[in-house]
Structure 1
């Protein structure tokens, strides 16, 4: 039976293979019905008649084997004819109207294409096709994840252990990871005439970016550690690759470092991604800018109004400017309200996967601002005219007064910040951390009747003594034992009813102790310059005579953090640069840092100030 469309298709594929035109090959191997021309439908009909499913598969494979050169041992690229036969079988038998069937068929086709990619000599030809198919499979996976019925049916077909079950998007990411490994481990793609990798190694960052995108989609970007380690060990320098590859990779590298709380290194990667992103790619520049500004805010470096007025920063003024004002104000209650998970700002940062980093890291800056304001208004700044005298001092009781004024300003009632002891009727005042679902029952005060888990342990109805005898405890008294003795002090904070109530003096010291702990943390991180004295609690700023109390006691946050990072090293992991300058025009200006495997950004231009 004559098959003119099939003959023309196979002849075109053979010509592309002989010329190693992998980009054009991708254009021929279309799988989305909306993108297929009428010729594909005619070819599908020819395949159904001339090569029916089952008896025609072997004859169809024979025809596909003619697409690659032959040797005495057989074809030089055995996986490619199998892949093309699978593609033709998809055209002949595929039911694209059924999402589940389409996903299964395309997943099998992608795996077959990966086998063809593994060939050391010819595999690079199907590199773009692997990326194209993986994008289609990932898109179908995300659609199926939103359809519980189809997803449940697929799970029945592919049973997995409950502890090993992964999402379909993560499965797609793992498949793309295999393609990335094949590209990275290729030794046939030597450097070309301009020192740029050729062959499969030219697709290292293309495959890495696609895998990172999928991991981001399924919320597993932090599991990309193996990708970055592999790139650090084996990848050619990043500047040898196209700008689109570089910008996308540096963006995901910055997101990964941000998720792992390496904000300074994340800022360096995101800064370079922003600098290299094309000026007309406003959507991409805005996405990079969101995380770049967040990194800088966490490190005490606020965006300038000039930056927030740029075209790519549209809408970001309304997000970040109020945050900066609240941090400067020192109002920790307004800050917590602003970043509450139910607030519009909290929801926005939650969608960007930054809520917890911004809320937890920036609150420390809010407390520093509060201490700074109290010191300006009520601290002893020293006597510059005196030859000798006491150093600048801030009594922390004044910070306590400021906290109480903030609580009163926000209308904080007894039910919010003050819990009442049932045994004594007295009030226990604490600063109280915001609620955290990971630590339910610990962030607030726990009473004998509020937490069943604590009650079961401390006030069990029956227990075994040290001799192994069962002791009934119907009155719910505290269970004696070494475990309770060991944790007696911490449990005093959690269960204040155990040892009775506190006096008013103890209530005041409780609040003051928490403020003292916060100030100690700020000093430990070098965000405050000085030391603490206890009883009375005071913040002391020594050595302020020549530089001033404010400069010594409250150093610039950004300069402090960046100088600390200098001592650990500024090398961004998994960012590879050339040991020697590029033979063509470099991506970096003259005098830019170089000479190592990772980049150093001491002289990098900042986005904002």
Structure 2
């Protein structure tokens, strides 16, 4: 779009409102379109001019939009959020009134995405104040839920007419808010709604990838690693090859999940997507080298915390224990392993605060999880492992 006057912009909005053309109107109500940077569009009080060209309810939408642009230009994201929130709530009324049509869904996608982005900026602006963290994002989620309820309530079965085809886009926006404010329990009813939708296989591939990425992450936090692997693998394999940033983001969660299930990622893939932090960790786990594991875990601690996988990566240590004990079993070539031999190996690898009782606890945990087949003879202080496949492959346990 070349530079245009505000009056020309309003004339175009009027044309696309009367057509109606949801895609064109979405462009003219987007905070990310190039017109948003034009100084003449940043209006603190645009009502007079807007009402000369537009009628209700589109005049209200445009007024809120131009005011939002004004406050963004002023750097006041909290007031900008108020304007975008008001626009979203006004749009919900339009959506509710459209009983037999869904042409305005593109506007909904744009308005809701901008609401979340402005809310994030407003939250950042409040950092350091006495305000409750996440409060603006929670309010934004309430607006998004308003749109979601309207779409979910549309019982028409035709994909061309129903608003339910807009549900997944809203769910993905809500997921992004809930993950940011750490309220993952609120995702459950949304997941049920999508999984029971007759349109779940007809949503766009990009929306399905985003959905499975977030559901996969939630499954990971719920310790359902098989489900997490399923969803994250789908997201990674179907994400476009040119979307390296998104593929890397998916891998950050998929790699530890794969490792917990006994699969070893290739160094080539880790290097290709710049998550090589995991490679030394892979070597430490495979070798059962607890000293190296602790060193790497500490070295990349900030990365693991930032990505939200600190606790998940920490669980990989139990696999390192399993691999170390398997090495000792092979060295001793006996199905009766002295607990003292295991403890000596642990101390040698830097676990100096582990005594015999704690070593037994580690083994008991491995037996309970099925990673070792056997039992502990407390009387003789020995681990008696099965004569058949005492250390079953981890992938067989998933």
2 CA distance for matches of 1:6 and 1:306? Answer: 51
1:354 is the counterpart of 2:309:
yes
Contact between 2:373 and 2:390, CA under 8 Å: does it hold in 1?
Answer: yes
The aligned residue for residue 8 of structure 1 is 11
Query: Which segments of 5 or more consecutive residues in structure 2 lack a partner in the other structure?
Result: 1-5
**Alignment counterpart, residue 285 of structure 2, candidates 324, 327, 330:** 327
2 CA distance for matches of 1:4 and 1:321? Answer: 58
The aligned residue for residue 205 of structure 1 is 168
- How many corresponding residue pairs? 390
1:295 is the counterpart of 2:257:
yes
Structure 1 residues 31 and 265 mapped into 2: Cα distance closer, same or farther (>3 Å)? closer
1 CA distance for matches of 2:10 and 2:125? Answer: 40
The aligned residue for residue 328 of structure 2 is 374
Structure 1 residues 84 and 245 mapped into 2: Cα distance closer, same or farther (>3 Å)? same
Residue 103 of structure 1 and its aligned partner are, at CA, apart by 1.9
1 CA distance for matches of 2:68 and 2:361? Answer: 69
Contact between 2:375 and 2:385, CA under 8 Å: does it hold in 1?
Answer: yes
2 CA distance for matches of 1:323 and 1:42? Answer: 51
Please give the secondary structure, in 1, of the residue aligned with 2:19.
helix
Structure 1 residues 166 and 347 mapped into 2: Cα distance closer, same or farther (>3 Å)? closer
Please give the secondary structure, in 1, of the residue aligned with 2:102.
helix
| Structure with more of its chain in helix, by fraction | 2
Higher relative contact order (CA 8 A, sep 6+): 1
Q: Deviation digits for residues 117-167 of structure 1, max 9, x if unmatched?
A: 223525623322222222222222222222238966xx6xxxxxx7xx742
Residue 517 of structure 1 and its aligned partner are, at CA, apart by 1.7
Residue 32 of structure 1 and its aligned partner are, at CA, apart by 6.4
2 CA distance for matches of 1:111 and 1:559? Answer: 51
2 CA distance for matches of 1:332 and 1:245? Answer: 41
2 CA distance for matches of 1:116 and 1:291? Answer: 39
Structure 1 residues 330 and 46 mapped into 2: Cα distance closer, same or farther (>3 Å)? closer
Residue 171 of structure 1 and its aligned partner are, at CA, apart by 2.2
The aligned residue for residue 596 of structure 1 is none
Q: Which moved more, 1:165-174 or 1:134-143?
A: 165-174
Q: Deviation digits for residues 363-398 of structure 1, max 9, x if unmatched?
A: 111111221121122242xxxxxxxxxxx2212121
Q: Which moved more, 1:138-147 or 1:217-226?
A: 217-226
The aligned residue for residue 276 of structure 1 is 238
Please give the secondary structure, in 2, of the residue aligned with 1:523.
helix
1 CA distance for matches of 2:310 and 2:7? Answer: 60
**Alignment counterpart, residue 91 of structure 2, candidates 102, 106, 113:** 113
**Alignment counterpart, residue 153 of structure 2, candidates 170, 173, 185:** 185
**Equivalent residues in 2 for 1:354-433, closer than 5 Å:** 354-359=309-314, 361-380=315-334, 392-407=335-350, 417=353, 431=354
The aligned residue for residue 368 of structure 2 is 524
2 CA distance for matches of 1:6 and 1:279? Answer: 38
1:173 is the counterpart of 2:141:
yes
1:129 is the counterpart of 2:107:
yes
Contact between 1:94 and 1:101, CA under 8 Å: does it hold in 2?
Answer: no
The aligned residue for residue 191 of structure 2 is 228
Please give the secondary structure, in 2, of the residue aligned with 1:279.
coil
2 CA distance for matches of 1:278 and 1:50? Answer: 42
Structure 1 residues 94 and 514 mapped into 2: Cα distance closer, same or farther (>3 Å)? closer
1 CA distance for matches of 2:159 and 2:33? Answer: 38
The aligned residue for residue 3 of structure 2 is none
Residue 46 of structure 1 and its aligned partner are, at CA, apart by 8.0
Query: Which segments of 5 or more consecutive residues in structure 1 lack a partner in the other structure?
Result: 52-59, 65-80, 156-161, 193-197, 381-391, 418-430, 432-510, 545-551, 563-609
Please give the secondary structure, in 2, of the residue aligned with 1:179.
helix
Structure 1 residues 40 and 543 mapped into 2: Cα distance closer, same or farther (>3 Å)? same
2 CA distance for matches of 1:105 and 1:9? Answer: 22
1:138 is the counterpart of 2:116:
yes
Structure 1 residues 12 and 553 mapped into 2: Cα distance closer, same or farther (>3 Å)? same
**Equivalent residues in 2 for 1:416-565, closer than 5 Å:** 417=353, 431=354, 511-544=355-388, 552-560=389-397, 562=398
The aligned residue for residue 25 of structure 1 is 25
TM-score, L = length of structure 2:
0.86
Residue 6 of structure 1 and its aligned partner are, at CA, apart by 8.1
2 CA distance for matches of 1:267 and 1:278? Answer: 19
Contact between 2:22 and 2:105, CA under 8 Å: does it hold in 1?
Answer: yes
Residue 30 of structure 1 and its aligned partner are, at CA, apart by 4.3
2 CA distance for matches of 1:282 and 1:184? Answer: 33
The aligned residue for residue 267 of structure 1 is 229
Residue 282 of structure 1 and its aligned partner are, at CA, apart by 1.8
Pairwise CA RMSD of aligned residues? 3.2
The aligned residue for residue 87 of structure 1 is 62
Please give the secondary structure, in 2, of the residue aligned with 1:168.
helix
Contact between 1:183 and 1:201, CA under 8 Å: does it hold in 2?
Answer: yes
Q: Deviation digits for residues 348-371 of structure 1, max 9, x if unmatched?
A: 111111011110x21111111221
Q: Deviation digits for residues 504-527 of structure 1, max 9, x if unmatched?
A: xxxxxxx21221121111111111
Structure 1 residues 189 and 84 mapped into 2: Cα distance closer, same or farther (>3 Å)? farther
Q: Which moved more, 1:208-217 or 1:293-302?
A: 208-217
